[in-house]
Amino acid sequence: LRPKDLKGLRVLMTAGPTVEAIDPVRYISNHSSGKMGYAIARAAEYRGAEVCLVTGPVNLPLPHGVEGIAVQSAKEMLVAMTDRMDSFDIIIKVAAVADFCVRNTSDHKIKKNESTPVIELAHNPDILASLGQRKRQQFLVGFAAETKDLARYAKDKMARKNLDMIVGNLVAGTESAFGSDQNKVTFFYPDGNEDALEAMPKDKVADQLLDAILLRRASHV
Ligand code: PMT
């Protein structure tokens, strides 16, 4: 049994995918199930934190005691996070945000007997990067989902987005973190330290991550 070692701390999180509308019935998204983020929210609440979870659409029940804010698109997630970030101590950005949204969204269902539609994409805002720019005392944690060169890309994201820690995981092949009950992660820190964990259930990853945050935060604030 872990102590209530997060008591008094406020944790703001994201989980799941974002969905970007093509028309009222179709969208662009990704394979995030929400399991990793929900496991962290559940563990943080269990350990005494006040947890707010900004979540894209997933098929998971909201963990007991966690405040849920449902969003669809990356732009909605950006507003939900920036509106709230100032009053939180720890921010953990697990959501798989769609990097692109549809520029030419149709207000009506695109009919299949019309000519083949061309979907134009536009870049979505980088939510984590703007949280990194605006953060003050908050301990800011990002995730990096990569299909190769995990360490290089994760460290680059940590520096560019002004993070206090990044959790790298692979999302290719049979060991992909997407949808799985297990995850194999590496923690990277701005001082160059890193910690590669064995593959383990996502609820165990969640506790390891919260342990690491508490330890690092002690020397951070
Ligand atoms: O949901 P599961 O099925 O359990 O899968 C878990 C997971 C694989 C989704 C999770 O462990 C994970 O890796 N989440 C991050 C996914 C992701 O979007 O990675 P990225 O490398 O593209 O983004 C890096 C970071 O920037 C992430 O913290 C992301 O939330 C953030 N980001 C990315 C793009 C964007 N426009 N805005 C962002 O805030």
Residues 6+ apart with CB under 8 A from 140: 91, 93, 128, 131, 132, 161, 162, 163, 164, 165
Q: Whose CA is nearest to atom 36 of ligand 1?
A: 126
- Highest CATH level, class, for 10-220: alpha beta
Q: What is the pLDDT of residues 135-183, one digit of tens each?
A: 999 999 999 999 999 999 999 999 999 999 999 999 988 889 999 999 9
Q: What is the pLDDT of residues 31-40, one digit of tens each?
A: 999 999 999 9
Cβ burial, residue 72 (10 Å; 0-12/13-18/19+): middle
Residue pair 20/98 in contact by the 8 Å Cβ criterion: yes
The complex scores an ipTM of 0.98
Instruction: Supply the angle between the helices 202-220 and 35-46 in degrees, to the nearest 10.
Output: 60
Ligand 1 pocket residues where CB is under 6 Å: 32-36, 74, 93-97, 99, 124, 126-128, 142-145, 157, 169, 171, 177-179
Residue pair 135/82 in contact by the 8 Å Cβ criterion: no
Rounded to whole angstroms, the Cα distance separating 209 from 41 reads 11
Q: Whose CA is nearest to atom 17 of ligand 1?
A: 96
Please state the domain extents for the chain: 10-220
Catalytic annotation, residues: 30
